[in-house]
Amino acid sequence: MGLYDTIVFPTPIPCEKCGKAIESTQTKAFGNFLKTYHIGDVIETPLVSGVLKESLYCDTCHNLEQFVYVVIFKGILIAIEKDEAAAHRAMHQFGKGDLYLFYIDLYKEKEEWRRKFRSLETLLESYIDYLKMSEDERSRLDSHPLGALQFFNIKECLEHTEIVAILECLLQKGSRGEGIFL
């Protein structure tokens, strides 16, 4: 069984036949690591710069006779175009200004992950302290509205047995703005 990597489009591309919005395509041209790539990501591929033609599969009408052009500049996924000429233009016009914008986006993403990690670390540390408390201390904290709220998410997420599922649950709660600490 062959492995694929997934390339996610910055905006969905409508199927030429039925109009269904297609959000991504799969490729075997990269490292086949089952990775998911977005614009601005560094691709693990021997192809340093170039334009790749990939078929675009529609899972509604099963049309395979349409293509996208994936543009890679010095190992960075810089554009996805429906039109081959536009893909080559994107490759030749890519400059320092575009690279700067990618850098700013990545920097923001890095800061967001750093913040999430610190929040998780703080939450887990205080939860460990909570677990170490005596029964009396714990019930005193639980009876306080803020105290009970403090570990509400982690208690709910601990119903999941796998650590990855717990983390995903906490991150989801954080991204929906429900998180107390995440």
Q: Are 157 and 126 in contact (CB under 8 A)?
A: no
Closest contact distance (angstroms) between CB of 66 and Zn ion is 9
Distance of CA 31 to the CA centre of its chain: 18
Q: Name the residue among 10, 14, 58 with its Cα closest to residue 37.
A: 10
Backbone angles phi, psi at 4, to 5 degrees: -125, 160
Beta bridge partners of 73: 76
Nearer to Zn ion, 13 or 123 (CB): 13
Q: Are 173 and 182 in contact (CB under 8 A)?
A: yes
Closest contact distance (angstroms) between CB of 12 and Zn ion is 12
Closest contact distance (angstroms) between CB of 67 and Zn ion is 14
Closest contact distance (angstroms) between CB of 77 and Zn ion is 24
Residue 18 touches Zn ion, criterion: CB under 5 A: yes
Residue 15 touches Zn ion, criterion: CB under 5 A: yes
- Could you give the 3-state DSSP secondary structure of residue 12? strand
Structure tokens at 113: 């992950």
Binding mask 98-117 for Zn ion (x = CB under 5 A): --------------------
Q: For Zn ion, which residue of 36, 49, 55, 60 counts as binding (CB under 5 A)?
A: 60
Closest contact distance (angstroms) between CB of 82 and Zn ion is 14
- Site for Zn ion, residues 20 to 59, rule: CB under 5 A: 20, 58
- Could you give the 3-state DSSP secondary structure of residue 110? helix
Residue 13 touches Zn ion, criterion: CB under 5 A: no
Per CB under 5 A, the segment of 11-19, 43-51, 103-111, 172-180 that binds Zn ion is 11-19
Q: Are 8 and 23 in contact (CB under 8 A)?
A: yes
Binding site for Zn ion (CB under 5 A): 15, 17-18, 20, 58, 60-61, 63
